[in-house]
Amino acid sequence: MKTSKESRFRILVVDDSEDAREVIRNLLEDEGYLVLTCTDVNQALCLLDQERFDLVITDLRMPKISGMELVRHVRQHLGDVEIMMVTGYPTIEGAVSAMKTGAENYLSKPFTDRELIDAVRAIIEKIVRKRRVIATAVKDYGIIGTSPPMRRVFRQIRKAADTLATVTISGESGTGKELVARAIHYAGARRSGPFVSVNCAAIPENLIESELFGHVKGAFTGAVAGRAGFFQIAHGGTLFLDEIGDASLAMQAKLLRAIQDKTVTKVGATSPTPVDVRLICATNRNLTDLIEKGLFRQDLFYRIHVIDIALPALRERREDILTLVGHFHGKFARELDRPVPSFSDEALGLLMNHSWPGNVRELENLVQKLVLMVDGGTIGVSDLPETLKTRRTVPARLDLSLVEQETDYIRQVLDRVGGNKTQAAAILGIDRKTLRRKLAQS
């Protein structure tokens, strides 16, 4: 059964042989895929920078730069792109090296039409399954956004979900670090195991060992029964250590030992217990700065910082604000099971213009408060907090005239809202007709 043309999976074929390129392209286009070809790695890198692809099929031996270098580049920079290696010089060592470097499959020339089609179908089916799981995980845990910074985060989630490597999620308070951690867990191989969330800053110093590793009955005063620690509770699943940057040095030392040894020893026990957990950490602090100040262990940093996902602040992805407002508005309407007031264009413009120091959490709390407290059918500017009514100013450039500065600011606003003139006019406090006139004069 052929792949539907509507799916339009995009495949890049890299081979210095014109005959090989044409054979592969014709076969895969007949299967409904969109296929582009190029003759060497440099051309491939240019295309990968400019366009989106789902799969790269590359020859191994090519002039100047080998296909293995392309595989390595894709794996390092384009984690959501799959790779298949083809070669006329098959060796066991070559196959092993290609797979270790990140190639999804390995075909030897000459291959039959059926072998190529089946191999590509298997990879495409894997892509579909992976995206379905990721989409479900992202949707289920409320990660909303279509802006470039969030698309980058979704790619990193896909990459992290494919491995058991330790992940550190960084970002300001309210950016959704635990949501990302849950999405990684439930999109990965351990989704059927437990997800255990621990706030490192909330554990008292005298309870660190007991909370993390558990204790046996009678280990200390008040230990009337044995208890499993967080590591044991998360066995076979994921342990999420939130605010790892606030962990004391004593706690960091105990964490490092557990990570290195993959064992824990309960308080009062005489022998260690093996544990199997996937570790995800989160912080709103700069761990490198903490290391320089002697507040965070460098050896622990290297252990937890294998994959780094930096979440953007809401002010860095303003394109998502209206989508988030719509999501929260609908959510609270469903919870209240009644019509709730909608936002005026002017109010939405001020929401777009706010700096949101509390990020998505602040936005959600504000939307909830407004739909609960505002009477009538519309939430207007007068209903918003005073902090939102004060417009941010853009530093003036002294080498521009007043008209040029106005035009420059209008362009910045338009860029921020993706060219949407209705949103831009609301932010600027003018109507669309005035905006069109100012743009025509620029």
Q: pLDDT tens digits, residue range 121-142?
A: 988 888 887 777 666 666 666 7
Q: Where in the chain is the domain with CATH 3.40.50.2300?
A: 5-131
What is the rounded CA–CA span in Å between residue 126 and residue 161?
14
Rg (CA), the chain: 27
Whether the model clears a pTM of 0.75, i.e. scores above it, the answer is no
Residues 6+ positions from 378 with CB-CB distance below 8 Å: 341, 342, 343, 344
Is 277 in contact with 262 (CB distance < 8 Å)? no
- Name the residue with tokens 């090296």: 97
The per-residue pLDDT for range 377-423, each reduced to its tens digit, is 889 889 998 888 765 444 445 555 656 666 776 777 776 666 777 76
What amino acid is encoded at 379 in this protein? I
What is the rounded CA–CA span in Å between residue 392 and residue 428?
11
Q: Where in the chain is the domain with CATH 1.10.8.60?
A: 316-441
**Residue 299 pLDDT > 90, yes or no?**
yes
Cα atoms in the 13 Å half-sphere on the side-chain side of 361: 11
DSSP-based three-state secondary structure for 53: coil
Is 421 in contact with 413 (CB distance < 8 Å)? no
**pLDDT reported for residue 74:** 79
The domain 141-312 is placed in CATH, from the list 3.40.190.10, 1.10.3720.10, 3.20.10.10, 3.40.50.300, at: 3.40.50.300
**First CA to last CA across the chain, in angstroms?**
55
DSSP-based three-state secondary structure for 85: strand
What is the rounded CA–CA span in Å between residue 186 and residue 89?
40
**Residue 38 pLDDT > 70, yes or no?**
yes
Is 214 in contact with 265 (CB distance < 8 Å)? no
pLDDT bin (cut points 50, 70, 90) of residue 203 is confident
DSSP-based three-state secondary structure for 86: strand
The domain 5-131 is placed in CATH, from the list 3.20.20.140, 3.30.70.270, 3.40.50.720, 3.40.50.2300, at: 3.40.50.2300
The per-residue pLDDT for range 313-325, each reduced to its tens digit, is 998 998 888 888 8
CA angle 304, 309, 314 (to 5 degrees): 140
Query: 177-187 vs 113-140: helix axis angle to the nearest 10?
Result: 140
What is the rounded CA–CA span in Å between residue 349 and residue 48?
36
Residues in the chain: 442
Share of the chain above pLDDT 70, in %: 84
- What count of other Cβ atoms lies within 10 Å of the Cβ of residue 364? 19
**pLDDT reported for residue 5:** 43
**pLDDT reported for residue 323:** 85
What is the rounded CA–CA span in Å between residue 142 and residue 387?
26
Tell me which of 437 and 281 has the higher pLDDT: 281
- CATH architecture of the domain with residue range 316-441: Orthogonal Bundle (1.10)
Largest CA distance in the chain: 81
- What count of other Cβ atoms lies within 10 Å of the Cβ of residue 343? 23
Which of 33, 31, 35 is CA-nearest to residue 8?
33
**pLDDT reported for residue 125:** 86
Which of 318, 329, 328, 319 is CA-nearest to residue 356?
318
Which range (101-105, 191-195, 268-272, 375-379) has the least confidence? Answer: 101-105
Residues 211-223 have a mean pLDDT of: 79
Peptide bond into 272 cis (omega under 30): no
**pLDDT reported for residue 4:** 43
**pLDDT reported for residue 291:** 95
The per-residue pLDDT for range 80-117, each reduced to its tens digit, is 688 888 876 555 455 445 454 445 577 777 889 998 99
**pLDDT reported for residue 184:** 94
Is 157 in contact with 186 (CB distance < 8 Å)? no
The secondary structure element, H or E, covering residue 140 is helix 113-140
pLDDT bin (cut points 50, 70, 90) of residue 293 is very high
**pLDDT reported for residue 92:** 47
**pLDDT reported for residue 441:** 66
- Quick one: tokens of 390? 């004060």
Work out the burial of residue 43: count CB atoms within 10 Å of its CB; fewer than 13 is exposed, 13-18 middle, 19 or more buried.
Answer: middle
DSSP class of residue 319?
A: G
Residues 48-63 have a mean pLDDT of: 84
What amino acid is encoded at 370 in this protein? L
| Mode of pairing for the β-strands spanning 167-170 and 278-283 | parallel
Average pLDDT across the chain, whole number = 82
The per-residue pLDDT for range 176-190, each reduced to its tens digit, is 999 999 999 998 888
Q: Where in the chain is the domain with CATH 3.40.50.300?
A: 141-312
**pLDDT reported for residue 417:** 64
Residues 6+ positions from 142 with CB-CB distance below 8 Å: 176, 179, 327
**pLDDT reported for residue 48:** 86
| Mode of pairing for the β-strands spanning 10-14 and 55-59 | parallel
Residues 6+ positions from 204 with CB-CB distance below 8 Å: none
| Mode of pairing for the β-strands spanning 227-228 and 214-215 | antiparallel
**pLDDT reported for residue 395:** 45
Give the strand order in the sheet containing 55-59.
Answer: 34-38, 10-14, 55-59, 82-87, 105-108
**pLDDT reported for residue 227:** 83
DSSP class of residue 58?
A: E
Work out the burial of residue 80: count CB atoms within 10 Å of its CB; fewer than 13 is exposed, 13-18 middle, 19 or more buried.
Answer: buried
